[in-house]
């Protein structure tokens, strides 16, 4: 089937997927694939080289920041795909995703980003970047 006939990804369709094990050998996302997937995670930005995606969060306090960080850690364990989490200034968190085994982005990164967005948007999260 030609690429043009594939259904356009939606946030819902991405959330329904689960990360697949990756030990290398799979190709990184092409520019066109990434362009099709990025609208499903609009709060994330892509690095200039297309090697990772990032989202920044700002919280009211340390406890809220660490709370979401812990929820992301549990999600990452369930999905077996692990982001880089950076907490600075006690309430500023940056999440970066890449598929280390292939040295770039895979669909797993977009799936986990969408699930992180869902966590961050749930009631009780104090992120002020929404």
Which residues constitute the domain of residue 58?
52-130
Is residue 23 domain-resident? no
For the chain, the domain total comes to: 1
The encoded tokens of residue 21 equal 């094990």
Contacts of residue 116, defined as CB under 8 A and 6 or more positions apart, other chains included, come to 55, 72, 75, 83, 95
Is residue 6 domain-resident? no
Name the strand (E) or helix (H) holding 37.
helix 31-37
SS3 of residue 80 by DSSP: coil
**Would you state the pLDDT for residue 127?**
52
CATH of the domain at 57: 3.30.1360.20
What's the whole-model pTM score? 0.88
Q: Cβ distance 129 to 43 under 8 Å?
A: yes
pLDDT, the chain, mean? 90
Average pLDDT for 33-43: 96
pLDDT band at 3 (very low <50, low <70, confident <90, very high): low
């Amino acid at each position: 089937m030609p690429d043009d006939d594939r259904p356009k990804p939606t946030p819902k369709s991405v959330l329904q997927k689960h990360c697949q094990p990756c030990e290398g050998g799979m190709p990184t996302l092409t520019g066109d694939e990434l362009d099709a997937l990025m609208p499903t995670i609009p709060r994330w930005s892509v690095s200039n080289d297309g090697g990772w995606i990032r989202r920044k969060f700002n919280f009211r306090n340390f406890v809220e920041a660490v709370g979401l960080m812990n929820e992301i850690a549990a999600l990452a364990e369930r999905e077996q795909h692990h982001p880089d989490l950076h907490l600075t200034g006690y309430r500023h968190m940056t999440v970066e995703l890449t598929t280390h085994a292939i040295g770039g982005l895979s669909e797993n990164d977009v799936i986990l980003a969408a699930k992180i967005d869902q966590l961050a948007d749930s009631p009780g999260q104090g992120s002020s970047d929404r």
